[in-house]
């Protein structure tokens, strides 16, 4: 993402952010739905793995964290994303590089709409640079689907912000989810009834890191209080 500036913005939600809970061998808590893979894909992947290797994950603990991040409850803000014909590649689904633009869209939408971010580079006291991007793909989507992007904040530092992101596809229903102007201009927060129209397990998860700098010196600069307050609304209690 390119540089971005900021002042202050409105606040419309005081909803406490839900805690993402994972379960151990003996404990209770939230158990996520298993990842779905086609038999052909599972067979193809298994042939590439050494014997006695049954998972590409690094550990059961890390897998539980990934599964936890695939659920609505791990996020606070949601924004419908209209896929475009040009997003599809020759394989008939959205190309992997396009997902980063979807995540960039929800991050900047929230910063502009709810944190007072301004985009006048020459008039802003600070600009934001994206220094880290990561994306993990669990299932494909394609045009003309309208998935919903999800955003959470994992950490707010002196000049940096760590985001957690996901994309949830619409449920397979006879009627497509109704998305109106207000959904696209304002998005909505966790608990909104329209979330029921989207799968509870994300097709894509990711993370990004912003660092805000002084445009004159290109040195990191502290986040203003109004921006910080807007970001803290999307943090889980365990992260604060």
What are the residues facing 166 on neighbouring strands?
150, 205
Token match 């500036």: residue? Answer: 5
Please check whether residue 169 lies inside any domain of the structure: yes
> Radius of gyration of the chain from Cα atoms?
19
Residue 53: pLDDT band (50, 70, 90) is very low
Contacts of residue 99, defined as CB under 8 A and 6 or more positions apart, other chains included, come to 135, 137, 167, 204, 206
pLDDT digits (tens, 9 = 90+) for 75-124: 999 999 999 999 999 999 999 999 999 999 999 999 999 998 887 777 77
Do 149 and 106 meet the contact criterion of CB atoms below 8 Å apart?
A: yes
Please check whether residue 91 lies inside any domain of the structure: yes
In the predicted structure, residue 28 carries a pLDDT above the cut 50: no
In the predicted structure, residue 34 carries a pLDDT above the cut 70: no
CATH code for position 166: 3.10.129.10
Give the domain extent around 72: 39-232
What does the DSSP assignment read for 148-159? EEEEEEEEE-SS
Query: 51-65, 90-104, 175-189, 194-208 — which is least confidently predicted?
Result: 51-65
| Phi, psi angle pair for 117, to nearest 5° | -60, 135
Beta-carbon neighbour count of residue 171 at 10 Å? Answer: 12
| Phi, psi angle pair for 106, to nearest 5° | -70, -35
Q: How far is it, in rounded angstroms, from Cα 114 to Cα 134?
A: 24
Do 78 and 152 meet the contact criterion of CB atoms below 8 Å apart?
A: no
- Average pLDDT of the residues in 203-223: 92
In the predicted structure, residue 148 carries a pLDDT above the cut 90: yes
The alpha helices in 84-169, defined as continuous H runs, are: 98-114
Residue 6: pLDDT band (50, 70, 90) is very low
Taking the model in full, what pTM does it have? 0.72
More confident residue, 66 or 35: 66
In the predicted structure, residue 5 carries a pLDDT above the cut 80: no
Please check whether residue 82 lies inside any domain of the structure: yes
Please check whether residue 53 lies inside any domain of the structure: yes
pLDDT digits (tens, 9 = 90+) for 149-193: 999 999 999 999 999 999 999 998 766 667 777 888 789 999 999
Please check whether residue 151 lies inside any domain of the structure: yes
pLDDT at residue 16 in the model: 46
Q: How far is it, in rounded angstroms, from Cα 221 to Cα 217?
A: 10
Domain count, the chain: 1
Average pLDDT, the chain: 77
Please check whether residue 84 lies inside any domain of the structure: yes
């Amino acid at each position: 993402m390119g540089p971005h500036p900021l002042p202050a913005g409105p606040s419309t939600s005081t909803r406490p952010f839900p805690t993402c809970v994972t379960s151990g061998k003996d404990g209770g808590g939230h158990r996520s739905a298993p990842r779905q893979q086609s038999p052909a894909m599972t067979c193809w992947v298994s042939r590439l793995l050494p014997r006695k290797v049954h998972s590409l994950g690094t550990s059961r603990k890390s897998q539980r964290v990934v599964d936890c991040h695939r659920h609505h409850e791990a996020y606070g803000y949601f924004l419908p994303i209209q896929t475009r014909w040009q997003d599809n590649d020759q394989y008939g689904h959205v190309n992997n590089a396009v997902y980063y633009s979807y995540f960039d869209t929800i991050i900047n939408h929230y910063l502009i709409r709810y944190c007072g971010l301004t985009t006048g580079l020459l008039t802003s006291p600070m600009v934001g640079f994206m220094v880290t991007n990561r994306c993990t793909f669990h299932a494909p989507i394609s045009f003309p689907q309208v998935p919903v992007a999800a955003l959470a904040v994992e950490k707010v530092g002196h000049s940096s912000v760590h985001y957690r992101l996901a994309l949830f596809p619409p449920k397979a229903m006879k009627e497509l989810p109704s998305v109106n102007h207000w959904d696209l201009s304002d998005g909505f927060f966790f608990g909104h009834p329209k979330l029921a129209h989207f799968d509870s397990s994300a097709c894509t998860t990711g993370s990004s890191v912003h660092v805000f700098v002084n445009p004159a010196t290109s040195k990191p600069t502290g986040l203003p209080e109004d921006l910080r307050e807007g970001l803290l609304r999307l943090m889980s209690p365990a992260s604060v």
